[in-house]
């Protein structure tokens, strides 16, 4: 078909967590600009399988930019060159015929590579389990409209809660810090009356686990915000810093 492209892929291949891994080169032929990036990889994989080679393993699920499963560093950027999209929403019309594309997994000590482009993001889970919740048992809730929440707070909380937990912030951060991820959750609850009761405990517990999991510290480069497919703001990190200091330094 006219307008289709031929590309060269340089892809990180790693058999399993203990393999050292290396970059290998594959051609991607006759790629339609209407394909998503992952569909392009599907095409390459189908060829690899038929050639008797191992297909490239990559995480993906919803393919509509909301599940947060897809996670790849494309040409030096988390989720590729476009702002505000995940790899599954990145379409091949963003590339030109003849381009070489480097595809790597998220890089962080806290995200060990499981295979090829797939990393283990359990560390993010652990942070959530430490405090990313409001302690309310099923059935014990008051009427939903019993506590009015100012629209600004509700909207800000929503903006923070829009995080899809993909880990692009960690991948893009030169320190592999998960502050944006964690602060989004801390902020969501800090902004809502429902979350206030255990705010101090939440932020201290979550940060403790964040540090234990081997994520780096934030140095305010703001790369996380720039690369976040959901546009989560670093003002959440500021809020979390505030919350944490208040929780730790306030007298008892």
Partner 1 sequence: MTLDSKIPAGPLSEKWDRHKFNLKLVNPANKRRYDVIIVGTGLAGASAAASLAELGYNVKTFCFQDSPRRAHSIAAQGGINAAKNYRNDGDSVYRLFYDTIKGGDYRAREANVHRLAQVSVNIIDQCVAQGVPFAREYGGLLDNRSFGGAQVSRTFYAKGQTGQQLLLGAYSAMNRMVGSGQIKSYTRHEMLELVMVDGQARGIIARDMVTGEIERHSAHAVVLCTGGYGNVFYLTTYARGSNATAIWRAHKKGAFFGNPCMTQIHPTCIPVSGDHQSKLTLMSESLRNDGRIWVPKQKGDPRPPADIPEDDRDYYLERRYPSFGNLVPRDIASRAAKDMCDKGYGVGKTGLAVYLDFSDAINRLGEKAVEAKYGNLFDMYKQITGDNPYKTPMMIYPAVHYTMGGLWVDYNLMTTIPGLYACGEANFSDHGANRLGASALMQGLADGYFVLPYTIGDYLAGVERKPIANDTPEFMEAEKAVKERLNKLLSIKGKKTVHDFHRELGLIMWNHCGMGRNEQGLKEGIVKMRALREEFWKDLLVPGSDNELNQNLEKAGRVADYLELGELMMVDALERKESCGGHFREEYQTPEGEALRDDDNFAYVAAWEYKGDNQAHQLHKEELEYEFIQRSQRSYK
Partner 2 sequence: MSKFFEFLNSSVGRKWLMAFTGLFLCLFVLVHMSGNLQLFKNDGGKAFNQYAVFMTTFPLIKVVSYVNYLLILVHALNGFYLVNKNRQARPVKYAGAKSDASASWSSRNMGLLGTVLLVFIVIHMGHFWREFHFVPMEAKQYITKIGEIPTEGTPFDTVITIQAKDFKEPRHYTINQQDMSGRMATYEVVELKDLYGEVAEAFKSPLYVAFYVLAMIALSYHLAHGFQSAFQTFGIRSKTYAPIIKGLGNLLFAIIIPALFAAMPLYFLFIKH
**Binding residues vs partner 2 (CB under 8 A):** 10, 12, 23, 73, 75-77, 81, 102, 104, 107-110, 172, 174-177, 179, 207-208, 210-211, 214-223, 226-227, 234-235, 237-245, 248-249
| 37/73 with CB nearer partner 1 | 37
Among partner 2, partner 1, none, partner that 141 touches (CB below 5 to 8 angstroms by kind): partner 1
Minimum Å gap between C-beta 8 and partner 2 is 13
Using CB under 8 A as the binding rule, the residues of this chain from 151 to 190 that contact partner 1 are 151, 154-155, 157-158, 161-162, 164-165, 188-189
Q: Does 27 participate in binding partner 1 (rule CB under 8 A)? A: no
Task: Round to whole Å and give the CA distance between 93 and 71.
Answer: 20
DSSP state of 102: E
Task: Kindly give, in sequence order, each residue whose CB lies less than 8 Å from that of residue 20, ignoring residues fewer than 6 positions away.
Answer: 14
Among partner 1, partner 2, none, partner that 89 touches (CB below 5 to 8 angstroms by kind): partner 1
Query: Angle of helix 179-190 relative to helix 122-131, nearest 10 degrees?
Result: 30
Q: Does 6 participate in binding partner 1 (rule CB under 8 A)? A: no
| 3/76 with CB nearer partner 2 | 76
Say if CB 175 and CB 210 are below 8 A apart. Answer: no
Among partner 1, partner 2, none, partner that 130 touches (CB below 5 to 8 angstroms by kind): partner 1
Q: Does 44 participate in binding partner 1 (rule CB under 8 A)? A: no
Task: Round to whole Å and give the CA distance between 165 and 61.
Answer: 14
What are the C-alpha distances in Å from 118 to residues 24, 73, 74, 239?
A: 16, 11, 14, 32
- DSSP-based three-state secondary structure for 171: helix
């Amino acid at each position: 078909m006219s307008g289709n492209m031929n590309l060269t892929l340089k892809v990180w291949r790693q058999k399993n967590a203990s393999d050292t891994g290396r970059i290998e080169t594959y051609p991607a032929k006759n790629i339609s600009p209407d394909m998503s990036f992952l569909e392009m990889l599907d095409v390459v994989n189908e060829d690899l399988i038929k050639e008797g080679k191992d297909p490239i393993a990559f995480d993906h699920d919803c393919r509509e930019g909301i599940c947060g499963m897809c996670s790849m560093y494309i040409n030096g950027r988390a989720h590729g060159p476009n702002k505000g999209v995940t790899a599954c929403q990145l379409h091949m019309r963003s590339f030109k015929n003849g381009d070489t594309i480097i595809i790597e997994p998220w890089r962080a000590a806290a995200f060990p590579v499981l295979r090829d482009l797939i990393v283990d993001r359990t560390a993010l889970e652990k942070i959530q389990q430490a405090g990313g919740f409001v302690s309310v048992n099923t059935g014990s809730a008051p009427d939903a409209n019993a506590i009015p929440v100012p629209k600004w707070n509700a909207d800000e909380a929503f903006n923070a809660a829009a995080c899809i937990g993909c880990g692009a912030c960690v991948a893009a951060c030169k320190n592999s810090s998960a502050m944006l991820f964690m602060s989004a959750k801390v902020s969501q609850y800090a902004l809502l009356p429902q979350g206030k009761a255990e705010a101090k405990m939440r932020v201290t517990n979550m940060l403790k686990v964040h540090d234990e999991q081997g994520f780096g510290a934030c140095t305010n480069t703001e790369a996380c915000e720039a690369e976040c497919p959901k546009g989560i703001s670093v003002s959440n990190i500021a809020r979390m810093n505030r919350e944490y200091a208040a929780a730790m330094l306030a007298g008892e």
